[in-house]
A and B are shown apart, each in its own frame.
Chain A
Amino acid sequence: MNWPSRHTSLGEPKSKTRLTFARRLRTVAAVKIDWQQYDPGTAFDELIRAPGQPHSAAAALTRYLASLSPKMLESRQEAAERAIVEMGITFTVYSEGRNIDRAWPFDIIPRTIAAREWDQVAAGLTQRLTALNLFIDDLYHERCIIRDGVVPEEIVATSRNFLKACIGARPAHGVWANVCGTDLVRDADGTLYVLEDNLRVPSGVSYMLENRIITKRVFPELFQDSSIRSVDDYASQLFEMLNSLSPRDVERPEVVVLTPGIYNSAYFEHAYLAQRMGVELVEGCDLVVGDDDCVYMRTISGRERVDVIYRRINDTALDPECFEKDSLLGVPGIMRAWRAGKVSLANAPGSGVADDKVVYAYVPRIIRYYLDEDALLPNVPTYLCSEPDKLEYVLANLDKLVVKPANESGGYGMLVGSHATRKEREEFAPFVKANPRNYIAQPVLNLSTVPTLIEGKLEPRHVDLRPFILQGASTSVTAGGLTRVALRRGSLVVNSSQGGGSKDTWIVEAEPEAATQRRRR
């Protein structure tokens, strides 16, 4: 909000804190951006094909950036950072025994993807989620895929995310994972791989939306001249999808967002989505299951029935009657209500069985089995430590591999072998040996890079991409997604809780022939 008394305009920094002053001192020596000097090394760069040669989707952007002086670029970065603080875009980290509300780290240089390429990716993501949902539904019913020997039974038997309480349940449209965040990475040869599927409570979409708002403020000129796909209908699509899950056939089903509360790292996002959809943001204590097995919320006029719950708390915290007895976040009896078909939960409990990293290795086979199609998006080659010969290979080649626990998220508990010390590798190996089912290994990919503003200069930094896929009565994919960037030189860890930042992601339509020619002349 702009208060009259201290109206700020972009490109004209007013708050001269010590930090920005120091940064400006460093940039005095910097020169105008010269794409000839920018060298992504062996990695694939998302903007620049080779020194001085942008990809066609990035042509307008790189041309424009080259016209800015470093000082102008810096002042726009400052404007963006100020906007983030003033808009209150935060994430919460748990550190030194307390929760800290931190400003969202953001880099103003966008990442571009050609619309033609993106359409294929979106088709691949739709295909993948469709197959995964058929797979989950199958696991909780007939288990044809196990009977037919495509996926071994142990996978289900040993999965921490397979919930017995869900066997036989019938979520709306047969869809279990309604909201999926799939992480994509691009290797040095330019191929996009699926790194993992997040089918439980994927987060980040609000940052994708806010990143766009900030970028529009910072580079309005660019949106005028190029055709960049809009992202801002996500909330309407989410709302429509949730509506399509309602067990009652009423005109306006009661949809709510269930949050663990303000201390959760993604609380900002929960509030953001509830606000954008115009629905209530509830905590466990706001909900109660009646004797009729319906879920009600406590309102100022008494109890009101709830039809659809977009829950952002984990499966096992959902219902103390059913799972963790001491969970204060959940709602006693909610599983009973869900099984009785009185309320819809998105994502359905138990969906996590398919985002197990061991199941991941089988996804191409799962797609073939249910859809009779080849996977449009490739998997990263994956070694299952549960298979003895693979385990042996993994232990012998720890220095070349990334080893991940099958059930953790957020980059915790993993070992990046090439970056780890010998001692770290030796300490990690016994964990894998002791519980091989719980680990997978993948080759270290040389993640693609995007130019990133580091101390006044553009340097390549590694990125990934998390698009979001919604599936209810129909399926939709976001235009692009959340690009996360590892801000430390050479680092591959993009998680915001571990020093990562983010960027806006542009899906750029090809420039019409005429416009290109005009510019050439």
Chain B
Amino acid sequence: MLSRVAERVYWAGRYLERAEDSARLIDVHSQLLLDLPPTVGIAWPQVMEIIGLTDEPVRRGRAAERDMLKLLLTDEACASSVTATIAMARENFRTTRDIVPTEAWQGVNELHIFARTQLRWAVGKRRRHDILSEIVTRVQQLRGLLSDTMSHGPAYQFLCIGTNLERADMCTRIIDVAVASLLKDPERLQRYDNTLWMSTLKSVSGYQMYRQYVRRRIRGPDVLAFLFQDADFPRSICHCLAQIEQCMTNLPKGAALTRQLNALSKTVVALDVKRLDNAALHVEVDRFQLALADLNQQMTATWFSPVE
């Protein structure tokens, strides 16, 4: 498999996952805001922070909300908007369309058409949920299609690595922001503690599975343990890392990276999340994010543009 193509497929996987995660996050956050009185101070800036739009000035009020949603959803010039993310996914699929099943390319293309024509209707509240959940569904269908029709050779492995790396990254960002909000104003938010953690779980599609497998009422430390360490939940950090490791063992020259991942997994499992206070947790999340960035660099050095 060509190095250049491997890199594009990897990014195709990342952008597709990012589009799904952002759409879900915005959808869940919209629901959450309906459950919270405005005085608690949870608003759109938190979502902007998760998605990486930290430079935007914080404004309040209805007009500001519209502007922020436009930025998050439809702004093609804003690289983090859902539309732009889908456009990037499409571009990576378009430039690798010789190796991706035709139906998958068409699916991405249609997703792009859908995003460009429909997302602006999600700026207002009324149709937001319908449109965003349609985006999530389409990405999930696409991933199912890829999994079931594309040979699980190197190209597919890179796609999966991209998906899982992005998913782990997004999960840590969501945790980070949830923790930071609680950290800022623990007293005022205490009453809504439950609602906030529930929303965090929903942001990674984990609410139902948490109920089923943890079988405890929703408490911060348990949620954190679930999101970091649950071995079976497909969106937990632990599970994502295991997936990446599995993919890498199927690739040539993957030995060194597999070892690096294995070590990272071990540190995640060893985290005593229930004991960590919020400040210490924030440090851990930061460290983990750096480790993911390093992983990305190692992949470039190993497969995408190795020094000859």
Establish whether residues A300 and B110, one from each chain, have CB atoms under 8 Å apart when the complex forms.
no
A31, CB-defined interface residue at 8 Å: no
Contacting residues, chain B, for A272 (C-beta < 8 A): 97-98
Inter-chain residue pair count (beta carbon < 8 A): 72
When the two chains form their complex, are residues B2 and A88 in contact, meaning their CB atoms are under 8 A apart? no
Answer yes or no: A297 CB below 8 A from chain B CBs.
yes
With A271-B97, A275-B99, A301-B253 known to touch, is A283 a contact of B141 (CB < 8 Å)? no
Residues of B within 8 A of A282 (CB): 2
- Find out whether the CB atom of B94 lies under 8 angstroms from the CB atom of A88: yes
Chain A residues contacting B289 (CB-CB under 8 Å) are none
The reply to whether A300 and B106 form a contact with Cβ atoms under 8 Å apart is no
Asked if B6 is an interface residue, CB under 8 A from chain A, the answer is: yes
Known: A88-B109, A275-B102. A298 touches B95 (CB 8 A): no
Query: Contact at A299–B1, with CB atoms within 8 Å?
Result: yes
Nearest CB in chain B: distance from A270 CB, A: 8
Residue on A nearest B7 in the bound complex, by CB: A300
Assess whether B107 is interfacial by the CB under 8 Å rule: yes
CA distance A68 to B267 in the complex (A): 70
Instruction: Let me know if B3 and A1 touch, CB within 8 A.
Output: no
Q: Is the CB of A300 within 8 A of B3?
A: yes
Q: What's the nearest-Cβ distance from chain B to residue A19, in Å?
A: 13
Are A300 and B97 in contact, with the CB atoms below 8 A?
Answer: no
Within 8 A of B (CB), among A61-93: 85-88
- Say whether B251 contacts A300, CB under 8 Å: yes
Q: Are A286 and B3 in contact (CB under 8 A)?
A: yes
Give the residues in chain A near B1, CB-CB below 8 Å. 280, 299-301
**How many of chain A's residues touch chain B, expressed as a range?**
20 to 34
Q: Which of B118-155 contact A (CB under 8 A)?
A: 134, 137-138, 141, 145, 154
The B1-47 residues at the A interface (CB cut-off 8 A) are 1-6
- Judge whether A275 and B98 touch: CB under 8 Å: yes
Binary contact track B250-268/A, C-beta < 8 Å → 1, others 0: 0111000000000000000
A86 engages B106 (CB within 8 Å): yes
1/0 per residue A264-293: CB within 8 Å of B? 000000011011000011110110000000
CB of B3 within 8 A of CB of A299, answer yes
Are the C-beta atoms of B106 and A88 separated by less than 8 Å? yes
**Identity of the chain B residue whose Cβ is nearest the Cβ of A15 in the assembled complex:** B117
Whether the Cβ atoms of A5 and B2 lie closer than 8 Å is: no
**Pairwise interchain contact B303-A300, C-beta atoms closer than 8 A:** yes
- B106 close to A5 (CB less than 8 A): no
| Smallest Cβ-Cβ distance to B104: which chain A residue | A1
Picked from B2, B98, B134, B145, the residue with its CB within 8 Å of the CB of A298 is B2
Please, how many angstroms separate the alpha-carbon atoms of A274 and B106 in the complex? 17
Closest chain-A Cβ to B201's Cβ sits at a distance in Å of 26
Confirm or deny: B113 has a beta carbon within 8 angstroms of a beta carbon on chain A: yes
Q: Is the CB of B138 within 8 A of A3?
A: yes
Tell me, in angstroms, the Cα distance from A87 to B103 when the chains sit together: 8
* Min CB–CB distance A115 → chain B (angstroms): 30
Q: Is B113 a contact of A86 with CB atoms below 8 Å? A: yes
Pick from B4, B105, B137: contact of A285, CB under 8 Å = B4
A-side contacts of B110, CB under 8 Å: 1, 3, 86
A262 at the interface (CB under 8 A from B): yes
A4–chain B nearest beta-carbon distance, Å? 8
How many chain B residues sit at the interface, stated as a range, is: 20 to 34
Residue of B nearest to A5 (CB): B134
The CA of A15 and the CA of B102, in the complex, are separated in Å by 23
Query: Given the complex of chains A and B, what is the CA–CA distance between A3 and B109 in angstroms?
Result: 12
CA distance A85 to B4 in the complex (A): 27
Let me know if B105 and A88 touch, CB within 8 A: yes
Partner among B2, B95, B99, B103 whose Cβ is within 8 Å of the Cβ of A299: B2
* Bound Cα distance from A300 to B2, whole angstroms: 6
Instruction: Give the distance to chain B from A92, nearest Cβ to Cβ, in Å.
Output: 11
A-side contacts of B251, CB under 8 Å: 300
Q: Is the CB of A297 within 8 A of B252?
A: no
Q: Which residues of A contact B94 (CB under 8 A)?
A: 88, 262, 271
Contact status A274-B103, CB under 8 Å: no
Q: Which residues of B contact A275 (CB under 8 A)?
A: 97-99, 102
Give every chain A residue within 8 A of B134 (Cβ-Cβ). 5
Contact mask for chain B residues 205-231; partner A; CB cutoff 8 A; 1 contact, 0 none: 000000000000000000000000000
Closest to B99 in A: A275
Evaluate contact between A1 and B107: CB separation under 8 angstroms.
yes
Q: Which of B98, B103, B141 contacts A271 (CB 8 A)?
A: B98
Nearest chain B CB to A448 CB, angstrom units: 34
Known: A87-B106, A286-B4. A300 touches B154 (CB 8 A): yes
Provide the bound-state CA to CA distance between A281 and B2, in Å: 9
What is the minimal beta-carbon distance from A216 to any residue of chain B, in angstroms? 15
Q: Which residue of A lies closest to B138 (CB)?
A: A3
A517, B138: Cα distance in complex, Å: 52
Residues of chain A within 8 A (CB-CB) of B253 are 300-302
Instruction: Select from chain A the residue with minimum beta-carbon distance to B90.
Output: A88
A3, A85, A87, A286: the one contacting B2 at CB < 8 Å is A286
- Which among A257, A282, A297, A299 has the highest number of chain B CB atoms within 10 Å? A299
Cβ-defined contact, B102 with A280, below 8 A: no
Which residues of chain B from 252 to 308 have a CB within 8 Å of any chain A CB?
A: 252-253, 303
Option from A1, A5, A262 in Cβ contact (under 8 Å) with B95 = A262
Interfacial residues of chain A within 1-60, with CB under 8 A of chain B in the complex: 1, 3, 5
Known contacts A86-B113, A300-B154, A300-B253: A280-B2 contact under CB 8 Å: yes
Contact in complex: A283, B4 (CB < 8 Å)? yes
Across the two chains, which residue of chain A brings its CB closest to B4? A286
In the bound assembly, the distance between CA atoms of A271 and B95 in angstroms comes to 8
Distance of A283 Cα from B1 Cα, bound (Å): 13
- Which residues from chain B contact A298 at a C-beta distance below 8 Å? 2-4
How far apart are B143's CB and chain A's nearest CB, in angstroms?
A: 14
Q: CA A320 – CA B185 in complex, angstroms?
A: 64
A297-B94 Cα distance, complex, nearest whole Å: 21
Q: B138 and A86: CB pair below 8 A? A: no
| Residues in chain B within 8 A of chain A (CB atoms) | 1-6, 94-95, 97-99, 102-103, 105-107, 109-110, 113, 134, 137-138, 141, 145, 154, 251-253, 303
The 11 listed contacts between A and B (C-beta, < 8 Å) are A1-B107, A3-B107, A3-B110, A86-B113, A262-B94, A262-B95, A271-B97, A285-B4, A298-B3, A300-B154, A300-B251
| Cβ-closest 9 pairs across A and B | A301-B252, A274-B98, A275-B98, A281-B98, A88-B109, A300-B303, A1-B106, A271-B98, A271-B97
Query: 9 additional contacts, CB 8 Å, given A280-B1, A299-B2, A301-B253?
Result: A1-B103, A1-B145, A3-B138, A87-B106, A262-B94, A262-B95, A286-B3, A298-B2, A299-B3
